[in-house]
Chain A
């Protein structure tokens, strides 16, 4: 159960190897979280992380196989299996995602589809069964890692941006539909975060770290926020950018 100060006892991570997710899970375990299920494409690679979390105080750490590209049926089975075996899951952290390669993806239908298929379709089919189980248990938080890039598609990464925009919109709508059920959806929109995903790229303004994003996400989970910006200033930056006329926006070096 989530407690009065927003700590949770159990978490399922979709995309268990994500650096942002792991920073979040470490912070959770340092508080109260005792059950951690990491769902990832290659669960075997997470064994050392699992050991580290156990040493930090988690009593149950499990790694399970999950590929966002799998079909909806497989996702449903996986989610049911986790909820059945571990009892209530207080928090589902949706972190899987690929950045893709814009210069290729905008010319290659299959590559573009793989990005959208992972970031949007694949996560939607995994989120829906989680939301259903949480409705049934009468409580829970779904925390979805979106991005500022979904706020307004930019020519420099609109394949990724559009896939995240889809996910973001879906999560917001789901959050509204879950009002009154005891289940809350938190959409986290980080800017540039220094992780594997952005390795080799030039940091954008307001670049931040996985630990900072984790902190903001946990605060949002505790508060029951709908949207979390990391760093917070991006909320204002984006609200300006959103209103820049398209011909101008197109020319911005973003």
Chain B
């Protein structure tokens, strides 16, 4: 035994000192959606050396890395095989407060990163909708934030990372030195190796506030028009769409855009205080054993009505705390439990600019009675980065759905066809149900990715449930 011995599940590790970290704990794992649990042996390497040790002896059903398990589906699971939790590989190897370059372990979370660097006037370059994701998970999914239209995805800001490949060899990967490996790993869903450390370029900020402009849009065309016109003026932009509104109000939204507040923009009192801190409030938790019917459509309709009406028609320059702007949901620890025992899934699509009609059709179908989604998030994307990175220049729409409805399967299959037909795609980090036949059409660089992946993992050691389901990586070849 080594490490801190606190394995998930609280089980007492078996006494097998010679096996060390290779002796994992059988653990049922799911993603954030809590659907399709599978059993794997969960290992918790303490450092890069132990990661290499595990990769050198992968077992019959291979292995895959896992961060904080915030992907919605089965990306960080490996049924019958090994899963490597990187949560103990979280050291800070170097931080230069002058240039804003930082090297951290892959298990370091984005929230911890923000807390660490904000007092020095720096901020993570990209924040997904929750701060509970690891740097490794952010690279593997090449995550995007509200600033994608201007600043790209997470891997646009990664200067280098350390990748341990099957066999145990460790290499330094950079966008210039090893562009193919870099582009295959960015968004490669853990199937090109295990990232143990990354060097990131942070962005400079003066305060811990965001200056937010809010406006209401009458319908989908209205909000898209506003975004096309104004997004370039804002670093961050996101719109919340009421999916229950129909007719001429179809797609009515609240558009929230902003940027980091400068020191000059803070009022006197705020300026003099300790200006820089990232301290989300205490985490509350959802009550256990919630019945699945809690999120009923009438209740949601009422909620949306209130939410939409409460939002100002137009408001400029409101100052908000960083965490409340970026991660309003993080204060409720495990809100995914609100969806009951059958869990939830998140459907996130992107269609290229020019395919606005497809987007409109998606929103129309959602507003039809059949889909129990109530809020969707709309964003504009800029350029993509990795071969399997999700973002392409276009419109992305995201919604949560309860998994417990049988009629959802054909409904979403229909949306998939629409999206693929429009040259769009789904986000693998959110996926838990895509039909594998559509993957090729959605990801035109898949062929190239497969070549690079096979070069890095000739024996097909890197396996995940997502990979088995969709035919990616080792799971599809053994």
Contacts and interface: CB of A to CB of B under 8 A. Distances in A.
Contacts of A5: 35, 345, 403, 406, 408-409, 412, 432-433
A111 to B, nearest CB: 42
Interface string A60-71: 000000000000
Interface in B454-478: 465, 468-469, 478
A37 B216 CA distance: 55
Given A136-B80, A138-B79, A3 B432 contact: yes
A86 to B, nearest CB: 12
B468 A88 contact: yes
Interface string B312-331: 00000000000000000000
B167 interface: no
A138 B81 contact: yes
B435 interface: yes
Nearest to B31: A4
Contact of B39 (A1, A3, A32, A139): A139
A194 interface: no
B435 A2 contact: no
B263 interface: no
B36 interface: yes
Interface in B34-93: 35-40, 61, 73-74, 78-81
B33 interface: yes
Interface residues of A, number: 22
Given A4-B345, A5-B403, A5-B433, A138 B469 contact: no
B28 interface: yes
Best-buried of A1, A7, A181 by chain B (most CB within 10 Å): A1
B403 A138 contact: no
A139 B40 CA distance: 9
Given A7-B433, A182-B38, A31 B409 contact: yes
Interface in A202-231: 219, 222-223
A137 interface: yes
Nearest to A9: B469
Contact of A3 (B78, B404, B406, B433): B433
Contacts of A32: 435
A180 B28 contact: yes
Contacts of B61: 137-138
B11 to A, nearest CB: 11
B416 to A, nearest CB: 12
Contacts of A9: 469
A82 B4 CA distance: 42
Interface in B406-444: 406, 408-409, 412, 432-433, 435
B75 to A, nearest CB: 12
B342 interface: yes
A32 B433 CA distance: 10
B9 to A, nearest CB: 10
Contact of A4 (B28, B38, B40, B73): B73
Contacts of B469: 1, 3, 9
Interface string A2-18: 11111101000000000
Nearest to A136: B80
Contact of B36 (A4, A137, A180): A4
Contacts, number: 74
Contacts of B79: 1, 88, 137-139, 182
B36 A2 contact: yes
Interface in A69-118: 87-88
Nearest to A179: B28
A182 B433 contact: no
A1 B478 contact: no
B424 to A, nearest CB: 20
B343 interface: yes
B39 A181 contact: yes
Nearest to A178: B39
Q: Is the interface of A mostly helix, strand, loop or mixed?
A: loop
Contacts of B80: 136-139, 182
A11 to B, nearest CB: 15
A1 B409 contact: no
Contacts of B435: 32
A219 to B, nearest CB: 6
Contacts of A7: 409, 433
Contact of B38 (A31, A139, A223): A139
Contacts of A181: 39
Contacts of A138: 38-40, 61, 78-81
B37 A4 contact: no
B406 A4 contact: no
A106 to B, nearest CB: 42
A25 to B, nearest CB: 17
A250 to B, nearest CB: 41
Nearest to B346: A4
Given A4-B432, A5-B408, A180 B39 contact: yes
A222 B406 contact: yes
Contacts of B403: 4-5
Contacts of A87: 478
A194 to B, nearest CB: 24
A177 B478 CA distance: 29
A1 B465 contact: yes
A234 to B, nearest CB: 20
Interface in A103-159: 136-139
A137 B412 CA distance: 28
A181 B406 CA distance: 25
A68 B403 CA distance: 37
A222 B405 CA distance: 10
B426 to A, nearest CB: 13
B37 A182 contact: yes
A1 B468 contact: yes
Contact of A1 (B36, B40, B406): B36
Nearest to A30: B410
Contacts of A222: 406
Contacts of A139: 36-39, 79-80, 465
B435 to A, nearest CB: 6
Interface of B: 28, 33, 35-40, 61, 73-74, 78-81, 342-343, 345, 403-404, 406, 408-409, 412, 432-433, 435, 465, 468-469, 478
13 contacts: A1-B36, A2-B36, A3-B35, A3-B36, A4-B33, A4-B343, A5-B406, A5-B409, A88-B468, A138-B39, A138-B61, A139-B465, A180-B39
> Which 7 pairs from chain A and chain B are nearest by CB?
A138-B80, A4-B432, A138-B79, A4-B35, A182-B39, A138-B39, A1-B469
